[in-house]
Amino acid sequence: MTEETLLKKLELYYNKIKNPTYIVGNWIIVNDDLYHKYKNKLNISSINSILHSENYSIIVFETKKQYYAVKYSSNFVCIRESDNEYNLITDDYDLLGINKKIIHINQEETNNNITIIDLAKDLGWKLGKKAKKDFEQFD
């Protein structure tokens, strides 16, 4: 990603944070196109892996047609989509939303125990039976 492209994205995100079109639960949606693309349309069929670090988690899952990686914490949600698992490693994430609680400095720290089930519920994603079983095995 070029510096110019990054600056344009950051400006778009900043403008969306100041004047959001959508607020879903505690999430300010900063990319309306992604929100519309996935809202009530993402049916997670299986979870391939979950990686937890101190500051964020990454979940790799698939639907019947695509592979996805979602990087998230209690502060942000990013997503990337690919036709194959390999490109999930090399492609860039797109920021989908940020937690509105982090904008207000005087508020309490946000909950760090967010799960993909919480995100799916907030963003209208559906988890199939196998995906729910997979999630239990990973966590």
Q: Closest Cα to residue 43, out of 25, 66, 69?
A: 66
Do residues 135 and 37 make contact, with C-beta atoms less than 8 angstroms apart? no
Looking at the 3D structure of the chain, how many domains does it have?
1
pLDDT tens-digit readout, 38-97: 999 899 999 999 999 988 999 999 999 999 999 999 899 999 999 988 888 888 899 999
User: Whose structure tokens read 């505690």?
Assistant: 26
Do residues 34 and 47 make contact, with C-beta atoms less than 8 angstroms apart? no
Cα-based angle 47, 53, 56 (whole degrees, multiple of 5): 75
Task: Give residue 105's pLDDT band: very low, low, confident or very high (50, 70, 90).
Answer: low
How confident is the prediction for the chain on average, in pLDDT?
87
Which domain, by its residues, includes 109? 3-138
**Torsion on CA atoms 135, 129, 43, 92, rounded to nearest 10:** 20
**pLDDT confidence of residue 20:** 93
DSSP state of 101: G
